[in-house]
Amino acid sequence: MRRVLVVDDEENLRVVVRSFLKRDGYEVEVAPGVEEALALLESFGPDFILTDVRMPRLGGLDLLATLKAKGDPATVIVMSAYGNVDLALEAMKAGAYDYIQKPFKAEELLLTLRKAEEREALRRENRALKQEILRESTFEEILAKSASMQAIFKTIAKIADYKTTVLVTGESGVGKELVARALHKRSARRGGPFVAVNCGAIPESLLESELFGYRRGAFTDATTDRVGLFEQANHGTLLLDEIGELPLSLQVKLLRVLQEETIRRLGDSKDIKVDVRIIAATHRDLHAETQAGRFREDLFYRINVLPIGIPPLRERREDVPLLVEHFMNRNNARFGTNIRQLSPEARRLLLEYAWPGNVRELENTIERAMVLAEKDSIEADDLPERIREARDPIQLHLTSGELSIKKTARVIEEILIRRALTKTKGNRTRAAEVLEISHRALLYKIKDYRIDL
């Protein structure tokens, strides 16, 4: 953090500034204009750029715009003569760290640089902490730090190597396929194929041939032999997504496959041995489906040996900021944008929204907001109307059918704490006063709910 590039059209100032910065231990390069400064960026790699805000051809604002487009991380400090203060303030709005007014003393500039160094050191420490949190919160392709998801990660690690059938349940969009893939990747079968099929997306008339394959001549269009999905997944894992949509006629045949570990292609007279680990997934309540006669009870008990229930996003709101940052980073790389943060109001809205579409809805929402964003942050106006005008989350919870006083109290308490921290801009002492609890109690609850400040 000791490289400084000085950009000014006045030669005397360049010489003087270079001299006293070198005496203070900085490595210094100088440039008479923006074009020359840009030519030095790659070879010199400055940590700080000290630039005049107004120069004959291109000025400090032009340099800032170019640095932003390039994604250059250098910290910019602008210099302004008397009368150019408005330009300097405009430069700060455009991303400059600070400005210093000419003429200035060496001590003034050194103090400004040291403050900038301290800020950058804090930023690096913050980035390192975020990376550590990310490492601790990443399990295969799944991002989550909530206690409920961490418990699922432990379960996956514990059962991954067993061939026993797993039933993954949860609402649409919670990431059931990601859990299935994690089970496969953590198992001894990771070198084998992972095959996924949505049982509700294939017409009933074609589903049997898709699963088990067929022999040539089995039906009119069967001009060649075809391998089914069970054979494709041999020595690997087969995900039967939305298994609740499977017709009763095929449920009988699937039960036979699970019990005997053999399949028979349509039109064939011989059984084929298969070594496949079955993972079933559904958003339906299969127990209720068995009671209604729409799902075979014997098949339900056969696939429900190791159940994994994924909670909806509204029940693990502490995962929202982590997911938002992940989607923002990914979309920045895809779109070439440089949007790094949420405004406080946008953050509040995202945390309080009920997310009926779960992680998938959040992912689509962030992508839309980044496309519409006109600043380097996502503002409340960039979010869809349904989120901006959503009903109060406390009312949503109270009308959700949840009857547990303990669970409801925790949900309401967390929402009120988040609101108080937003209102006081993260001032925990003031937030404790607003909530009418002790500062110590608030610190405990912040830790308990894993609230990021």
The tens digit of pLDDT for each residue in 40-91 reads: 988 898 999 999 988 888 888 889 888 888 888 889 999 888 667 788 788 8
Q: Judge if 300 and 154 occupy the same domain.
A: yes
Q: Judge if 298 and 319 occupy the same domain.
A: no
140 assigned to some structural domain: no
Residue 223 has pLDDT above 80, yes or no: no
Residue 395 has pLDDT above 80, yes or no: no
Q: Judge if 160 and 252 occupy the same domain.
A: yes
141 assigned to some structural domain: no
Q: How many domains does the chain have?
A: 3
Instruction: Single out the residue in 270, 288, 311 at which a domain terminates.
Output: 311
Q: Judge if 23 and 171 occupy the same domain.
A: no
399 assigned to some structural domain: yes
Confidence at residue 83, expressed as pLDDT on a 0 to 100 scale: 67
User: What CATH number is attached to the domain comprising 10?
Assistant: 3.40.50.2300
Confidence at residue 396, expressed as pLDDT on a 0 to 100 scale: 60
Q: Judge if 281 and 333 occupy the same domain.
A: no
Is residue 21 within 8 A of residue 14, CB to CB? The reply is: no
Q: Judge if 282 and 165 occupy the same domain.
A: yes
Q: Judge if 302 and 324 occupy the same domain.
A: no
380 assigned to some structural domain: yes
363 assigned to some structural domain: yes
Q: Judge if 335 and 196 occupy the same domain.
A: no
User: What CATH number is attached to the domain comprising 165?
Assistant: 3.40.50.300
173 assigned to some structural domain: yes
> Which structural domain, as residue segments, surrounds residue 115?
3-133
Q: Judge if 119 and 248 occupy the same domain.
A: no
Confidence at residue 1, expressed as pLDDT on a 0 to 100 scale: 57
DSSP string, 200-232: TTS-HHHHHHHHHEE-TTSSTT--S-EE-HHHH
Confidence at residue 409, expressed as pLDDT on a 0 to 100 scale: 85
139 assigned to some structural domain: no
Among 431, 446, 426, 170, CA closest to 314: 170
The 10s digit of each residue's pLDDT in 203-215 is: 887 888 889 988 8
Instruction: Single out the residue in 296, 311, 326 at which a domain terminates.
Output: 311
Q: Judge if 158 and 298 occupy the same domain.
A: yes
Q: Judge if 394 and 264 occupy the same domain.
A: no
SS3 67: helix
Average pLDDT over residues 417-439: 86
User: What CATH number is attached to the domain comprising 401?
Assistant: 1.10.8.60
Confidence at residue 187, expressed as pLDDT on a 0 to 100 scale: 94
Q: How many helices (H) and strands (E) does the chain have?
A: 20, 18
Q: Judge if 385 and 272 occupy the same domain.
A: no
Burial of 1 (0-12, 13-18, 19+ CB in 10 A): middle
In percent, the amount of the chain with pLDDT more than 90 equals 47
> How far is 157 from 239, CA to CA, in rounded Å?
18
Label the pairing between strands 226-227 and 272-273: unpaired
Instruction: Single out the residue in 286, 311, 336 at which a domain terminates.
Output: 311
pLDDT band at 376; cut points 50, 70, 90: confident
250 assigned to some structural domain: yes
